[in-house]
Structure formats: C-alpha cells, structure tokens
C-alpha cells in the first residue's frame, strides 16, 4: 500500500505540526530589541521595504536609498520577489511597516504577527505540500516516517519560526525536485531545482548531484544517440528558461548583472561567519589560515577541497545513476560544501540535514543522529536568540518520536553510540548555558561546540561515502550468502 493521497490523518498531523511551529514562533527572534541592526528579522523586513519602494534594477546596488551595509539584499531574485509579495501585502495592512528609511527597526506586536504568518503561509504553500508529494510514492509506514522526519525536524522549525528566515521555500523546492526525479519527470525536477537555486544560492550544495544524476539518467535512458542528446537539450532549455524568467529584470545591463552576482557571492566577507562547525573554523583554532594565506588563495583552496570532496560520490552516481545513489550523493555533496566551501554560515547545515532525512527509511538511526548533531551545531546561535527552551522541547520530542517509530532499528550498539555522543553534547550544552567561560577565553563554549560538531560531520562524511561506495558489494555478498 502506498501513501497515496493525503488522508484525514495526514491533515490532522499537519495541524499538529502547525501548532508546534506556532508555539516556537512565540519565542524571541534574531536581533529582537537589539539596535542598530536588529538581526535576521529586520533583514527580512528591510528587503520587503526595499523591493516595495525601489525599482528592481537597483535592489542589489548601493545607492542613497539602498545602503548595502544595512542588510543589503544578498539572495537571488526569487527571494527578492518573495519579499516584494510579502511587502505589498504588509503595505496594504499598514504602510508604516515598509516606509522607506523610517520603517527601520519596526518591532510592533502587529508586525511580528504579520511576519510570523508570512513564514507559516510560505511553509504551507511550498514546503509542506512538497514533502507530502515526495512521501506519497512510498509505502504507508515509510510515508509516515518521512512526514515525521521532515515536518518535525527541529532545526528548520527553530531557524524559520524562532530565529526568523524562510528556508522552507528553497528546501521545499529542493524536495519537490527530488520527488519529480524519483517519478522520472526530469523536466519538472529540473524546473523545481532551478527555482530552489534562484531562491537561495546555497542550493549550489546540491547542484552537482542534480547535474550528474540528470545527465547520467538521460545518457542511460536507451534509444538512439539523437534521442539521448535531445533529452539533455530539453533539460538545458527548461533550466535556461527558468533562470531567464527569474533574472529578467536584472538583464538590462552588464553592470546590473555584476551587482547581483557580487551580492550573491561575497568573497570579501571572509572564510566563515561566527563559530561555524566546519573544517576551516576548526583549523582556525590551531592555525590562523586567514593570517598567513591571502584571500584569493583561500578562495581557490576552498574551491579545490570542495571539488575533491564531492568527486568520488559524483563519479559513483554517474556510473550508477539510481535514486538511492542520488540521495546519498545529495547528503555527501551538501555536507562537503558545508565542511570545505568558502563563506559558510552555521545555518547552512540545514541543507545537509534535510538531505539526510530523505534517507530516513534506510538509515533511521543515522538520520536521527545527524539531525540531532545539526541542531547542536547551531546551539550558540539558538542560545543567543533566547531559544534554549524551544530547542530542548522540540529536540527531545523529535528524538522520542523517531525512536518510537523505528524501535526495532535501535540496537544496543547504536543506542550506546548515540548515548556517548549525546553525553558530550549535553555537557557542552549545559556549560554553554550555565557556566561562565574564563575571561581570557570568552568564546570557549562556542568553539568547543563547533569542534565537537565538526568531528561528527567529518565522521558522517566518511561513513556516507563508505556506504555509497560499498553498496553494490554488500548486495552481491548478501545474494551469494
């Protein structure tokens, strides 16, 4: 029996997770009452202000009305259009929310409700339907595991409904793209992923697996050489058409295109932001790479290490373009980008975590473990936002439900591994919340959290590659036995 059409149980479950999301939204948000920049909440509001009041070709340019140092727009055009739509609705409700210049720092209760509702509506329109569509192809038990994992994952809820962002849109388009490709609807999948990439440039973390899987699937689809080339050409056309539609207002001059690209890829910002749990931040503890290596060389080093780290999985996927290998490569690629690429934010781990949750039926213990570590890696940010109780409540509930859904999968060995890992996370979390660090090491707990999380992610990277590379051997060995 397949998951099929959403049932009354599905709608009841959606109501439950909506309540959970709304409960988290009652907690503080990024930058609340913290002038003069206020945080990510103000960034999203400011983009609505800019897009409603200024012509599109100036959205990414530094002008007298658009100070790029004050939360300049730095996501692709689809994010800008999304901001414009929300801003237009907000303008109808209360024009003071988006008045040019004078609306900075708006924090009224009415505006907070409006902004929270905008996240929920975006979630209901993109992410939630995409997850249901993806899960509907699977048997009933798997259907519910997928829904639970992707809907109840605390990381996405805490960042979108607590910290305040709209990651549900790009990740929703990503899941929709995977769903279409699993149904062998290549053109629809290509369009959906193009939309994800045009909403957040961090979807480049998934770009190589999509490119390789679509290319290999077209080449191995049978038919004549002309037929296969024709399929590739159709994909290229729909991708280019989607990008052209998204970028149309910015194609009027080379200067405008350059201004957008410079905002999307800010190589001048630095190697990483805050205490992100990736390789470069961990290396920085013992070797100050930014002090001894010039910035252009650092960019090249990041590009090289990232490319090398995704190559083995990409080659495997090209040689064996199966849906299973595709999903493994999505996790490996996104995790590799998080560990080794340039200008990584701590919130970017959501991209790898959501990818990993697509493997929830095959690897229930591992995906739960990955999800918990991903939340832990963002703990300094969540504590800074005042989301400690929300983090504890959502994470505890998530882990309890995931264990209950797959009780038979949790062997003594896996439970011990999780427990040992969890003890370390618990100790560091308690220290981060209640123990004052030495005055000469004010960032001690965030640094230790990032190092501990990074160690897990490196192990996860090798573990996933091992499972991907040995899949055929294991299958053959099982049959011969």
Name the E strands within 138-243: none
Please report how the helices 167-182 and 349-357 are oriented relative to each other, as an axis angle in degrees rounded to 10.
40
> How confident is the model at residue 479, as a pLDDT?
35
Q: Region 351-377: what's the mean pLDDT?
A: 96
Give domain status of residue 21, yes or no.
Answer: yes
Q: Region 6-16: what's the mean pLDDT?
A: 87
Q: Region 157-170: what's the mean pLDDT?
A: 98
Q: Give the pLDDT band of residue 3 (cuts 50, 70, 90).
A: low
Q: Region 424-442: what's the mean pLDDT?
A: 95
Segment among 165-169, 223-227, 315-319, 350-354 with least mean pLDDT: 223-227
Instruction: Outline where 265-294 has alpha helix (H).
Output: 279-286, 289-292
> How confident is the model at residue 183, as a pLDDT?
94
Give domain status of residue 352, yes or no.
Answer: yes
Task: Report pLDDT digits (tens) over 391-405.
Answer: 999 999 999 999 898
The residue segments making up the domain with residue 185 are: 8-32+107-480
Are the C-beta atoms of residues 313 and 334 closer than 8 Å to each other? Answer: no
Segment among 15-19, 279-283, 287-291, 456-460 with least mean pLDDT: 287-291
Name the E strands within 38-99: none
Place of tokens 């770009």: 207
Q: Is the pLDDT of residue 155 over 70?
A: yes
Nearest to 73, CA basis, from 263, 346, 252, 273: 263
Give domain status of residue 328, yes or no.
Answer: yes
Q: Structure tokens of 224?
A: 């004549």
Give domain status of residue 260, yes or no.
Answer: yes
> How confident is the model at residue 67, as a pLDDT?
94
Q: Structure tokens of 286?
A: 């013992």
What span, in angstroms and rounded, lies between the C-alpha atoms of 36 and 33? 9
Q: Is the pLDDT of residue 7 over 80?
A: no
Q: What percent of the chain has pLDDT over 70?
A: 96
Give domain status of residue 91, yes or no.
Answer: no
> How confident is the model at residue 81, as a pLDDT?
98
> How confident is the model at residue 268, as a pLDDT?
75
Q: Region 114-143: what's the mean pLDDT?
A: 96
pTM of the shown model: 0.94
Q: Is the pLDDT of residue 229 over 50?
A: yes
Q: Give the pLDDT band of residue 412 (cuts 50, 70, 90).
A: low
> How confident is the model at residue 291, as a pLDDT?
85
Domain count, the chain: 1
Q: Region 245-268: what's the mean pLDDT?
A: 92
Which residues, 6+ apart, have CB-to-CB distance to 462 below 8 Å?
A: none
Give domain status of residue 51, yes or no.
Answer: no
Q: Region 143-164: what's the mean pLDDT?
A: 97
Q: Give the pLDDT band of residue 471 (cuts 50, 70, 90).
A: confident
Letter string b/e over residues 258-292, b meaning 16 or more CB atoms within 10 A of that residue's CB: ebbeebbeeeeeebbeebbbbbbbbebeeeeeeee
Give domain status of residue 346, yes or no.
Answer: yes
Q: Give the pLDDT band of residue 236 (cuts 50, 70, 90).
A: very high
Give domain status of residue 75, yes or no.
Answer: no
């Amino acid at each position: 029996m397949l998951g099929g059409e959403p049932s009354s149980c599905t709608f009841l479950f959606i109501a439950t997770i909506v309540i959970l999301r709304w409960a988290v939204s009652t907690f503080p948000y990024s930058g609340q009452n913290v002038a003069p920049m206020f945080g990510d909440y103000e960034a999203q509001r400011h983009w609505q202000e800019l897009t409603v009041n200024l012509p599109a070709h100036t959205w990414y340019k530094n002008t007298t009305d658009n100070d790029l140092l004050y939360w300049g727009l730095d996501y692709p055009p689809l994010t800008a259009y999304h901001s414009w739509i929300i801003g237009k609705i907000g303008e109808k409700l209360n024009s003071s929310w988006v008045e040019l210049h004078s609306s900075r720092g708006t924090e009224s209760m009415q505006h907070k409700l409006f902004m929270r509702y905008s996240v929920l509506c975006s979630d209901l329109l993109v992410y939630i339907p995409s997850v249901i569509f993806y899960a509907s192809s699977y048997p009933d038990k798997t259907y519910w595991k997928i829904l639970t994992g992707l809907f109840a994952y605390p990381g996405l809820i805490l960042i979108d409904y607590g910290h305040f962002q709209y990651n549900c849109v790009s990740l929703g388009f990503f899941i929709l793209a995977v769903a279409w490709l699993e149904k062998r609807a290549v053109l629809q999948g290509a369009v959906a992923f193009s939309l994800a990439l045009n909403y957040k440039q961090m979807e480049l973390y998934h770009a190589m697996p999509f490119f390789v899987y679509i290319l290999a699937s077209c080449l191995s689809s049978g038919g004549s050489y002309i037929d296969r080339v024709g399929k590739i050409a159709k994909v290229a056309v729909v991708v280019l058409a989607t990008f052209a539609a998204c970028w149309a207002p910015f194609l009027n001059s080379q200067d405008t295109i350059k201004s957008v690209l410079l905002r999307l890829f800010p190589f001048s910002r630095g190697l990483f932001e805050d205490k992100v749990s990736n390789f470069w931040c961990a290396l920085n503890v013992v070797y100050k790479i930014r002090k001894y290596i010039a910035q252009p060389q650092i960019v090249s080093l990041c590009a090289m290490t990232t490319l090398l780290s995704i190559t083995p999985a990409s080659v495997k996927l090209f040689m064996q373009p199966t849906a299973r290998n595709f999903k493994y490569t999505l996790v490996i690629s996104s995790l590799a980008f998080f560990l080794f690429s340039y200008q990584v934010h701590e919130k970017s781990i959501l991209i790898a975590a959501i990818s990993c949750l697509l493997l929830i039926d095959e690897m229930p213990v591992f995906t739960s473990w990955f999800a918990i570590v991903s939340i832990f890696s963002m703990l300094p940010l969540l504590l800074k936002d005042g989301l400690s109780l929300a983090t504890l409540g959502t994470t505890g509930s998530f882990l309890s439900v995931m264990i209950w859904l797959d009780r038979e999968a949790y062997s003594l060995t896996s439970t011990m591994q999780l427990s040992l890992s969890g003890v370390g996370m618990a100790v560091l979390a308690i220290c981060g919340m209640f123990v004052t660090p030495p005055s000469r090491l004010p960032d001690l707990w965030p640094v230790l959290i990032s190092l501990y999380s990074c160690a897990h992610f490196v192990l996860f990277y090798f573990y996933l590659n091992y499972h991907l590379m040995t899949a055929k051997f294991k299958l053959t060995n099982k049959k011969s036995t």
